[in-house]
Amino acid sequence: MWRETFGRNITHVDIEPIGDEPFHAEVTFQALPDVAVAFGSRSPARYHIARPHLAHKRDTFGLTMLLSGASTTFQLGSEIAGEPGGGIVTPGTDPSTSVMHRAGRIVTIVLPRPDVAALAPNLETAFARPLPAGNGALRLLGRYVGALCQGDALQTPELARTAATHIIDLAALAIGASPDAAHLAAQRGAAAARLQSLKADIRAQLGNRDLSVAVIAAQHGVTPRYVQKLFERDGTTFSAFALRCRIARARQLLKDPRFFSHAISTIAFECGFGDLSYFNRSFRRMYGATPSDIRDAGLREARSGEREPP
C-alpha cells in the first residue's frame, strides 16, 4: 500500500525494502505554492527514480537533508554518502537511487528550479554533490521546514506564499547565492527562519528564570541586538514574547488534570516566574481571569466529564 500510494502515485518513486525487518515509514507533507516538503522517518529501503518518473519533475529539483540514520544517493555517476545534518541536491532531470541503510529521519524539499537558479546562478554545479552539515543556511532550513510540518501556522494563502519564499531563499543560501541575492535572502528567508528558531528555543526553556536575550543570542551565535531587531520586525519584543509563552504554558498546565494537585505557585515557578504577584497580574491582564478561575473551570470540566455516561 505504501509503495502504491506514496511511491507511485504521490512521489513517483519505486520503493524496495531492505532486510527482514518490517517496513516502516511516516511522512508529513506540507504543500506550498511551488514548493513541497516531506518530513518523516524511514526504515531501510531503496528509493528508485527511473526515467519514466521524471516527467513530473522537469522544472524542479530536490534538496534532501538527512537528520539521522545512514544513507547513500547515486546520481549522475556520483555516489554521495549521507551525513547527518548534511544535504544532497538532486536534479529532477536524471534518474537516481537513494538507499536508506539504517532507519532514520529525512527532510525532502521539492523546489522550483527557475526560482532558485535566479538567486543561485551556479545551481547546476551543486547537483549530485553533498552540502556539509556545517552549512548554517542548511541548518536553518531544516529547522524552519520542521516547524512548518509540525505546526499549523499556515492558515492563509499569503502565509503559505511567504513560507515558500523563505524556503527558496534558504535553499539558495545553502547552495550558494549570488552576493546581491544572498543579501536579499538573508534579510528575508534567513531572518524569518532565525526568528522561528529563536522562538522554538524560548518555548523549550520557559522554566529557566535566567532566560534572557543574552542567553538566547549566545546559544545561536548572534548578538543580543540582532535578536532584539528580529523581534521588533515581528511587532513585539523578546520579553513580551517570552511572557506570553510563559503565561500560555501556565494556563495549559492549570487546565490539565495531571497538574490539578500542583499548587498554582508551583506551576508559576515551573513556567519561569520568580514573583507570584507579577504572575497573577500578568495572567489576568492576558486572559481577563485569574489563575484560580482557570483552575476552577478545569476542575468543573473534568468532573462533568467523569459524570458522563459511557
- Would you say residue 42 has pLDDT above 80? yes
- Determine contact, residues 104/70, Cβ cutoff 8 Å: yes
Of residues 234 and 280, more confidently modeled = 280
Mean pLDDT, residues 51-61 taken together: 75
- The residue that leads in pLDDT, 149 or 97, is 97
Q: pLDDT tier at 134 (50, 70, 90 boundaries)?
A: confident
- Relative to beta strand 35-42, strand 104-112 is antiparallel
| Three-state DSSP class for residue 302 | helix
Q: Tell me which amino acid residue 238 is.
A: F
pLDDT digits (tens, 9 = 90+) for 171-214: 999 999 888 888 777 777 888 888 888 988 899 899 999 999 99
Structure-model confidence comparison of residues 148 and 71, the more confident one: 71
Is the per-residue pLDDT at 302 higher than 80? yes
Residue 303 Cα distances to 257, 296, 298, angstroms: 10, 11, 9
Q: Where does the pLDDT of residue 309 fall: very low under 50, low under 70, confident under 90, or very high at 90 and above?
A: very low
> Across residues 137-151, what is the average pLDDT?
82
pLDDT of amino acid 308: 45
Q: What is the mean pLDDT of the chain?
A: 88
Judge contact between 193 and 140, C-beta under 8 A.
yes
Give the pLDDT band of residue 305 (cuts 50, 70, 90): low
Calculate mean pLDDT across residues 258-265. 93
Q: What is the DSSP string of 69-86?
A: SEEEEEETTEEEE--TT-
For residues 163 and 233, what is the distance between their CA atoms, to the nearest angstrom? 16
- When pLDDT is averaged across residues 295-308 and rounded to a whole number, the result is 78
Where is pLDDT greater, at 28 or 185? 28
User: pTM score, two decimals?
Assistant: 0.72
What torsion do the CA atoms of 240, 245, 251, 252 make, to the nearest 10 degrees? 170
pLDDT at 190: 80
What confidence tens digit (pLDDT) does each residue in 239-253 have?
999 999 999 999 999
Q: Which amino acid is at 90?
A: T
pLDDT at position 178 = 84
Cβ(13)–Cβ(48) under 8 Å?
yes
Write down the pLDDT at residue 154: 62
The whole-number pLDDT of residue 102 equals: 93
Which three cell numbers mark 200?
Answer: 522554538
**pLDDT at position 21:** 86
Report pLDDT for 249.
95
**Averaged pLDDT, 115-136:** 91
Residue 157 pLDDT: 81
58 confidence band (pLDDT: 50, 70, 90): low
What is the percentage of the chain residues whose pLDDT exceeds 70?
A: 95
**Residues of the chain with pLDDT > 90: what percent?**
57
Provide the H-helix boundaries in the chain: 2, 113-119, 136-150, 157-175, 179-185, 191-204, 213-220, 224-233, 238-254, 264-270, 276-287, 291-307
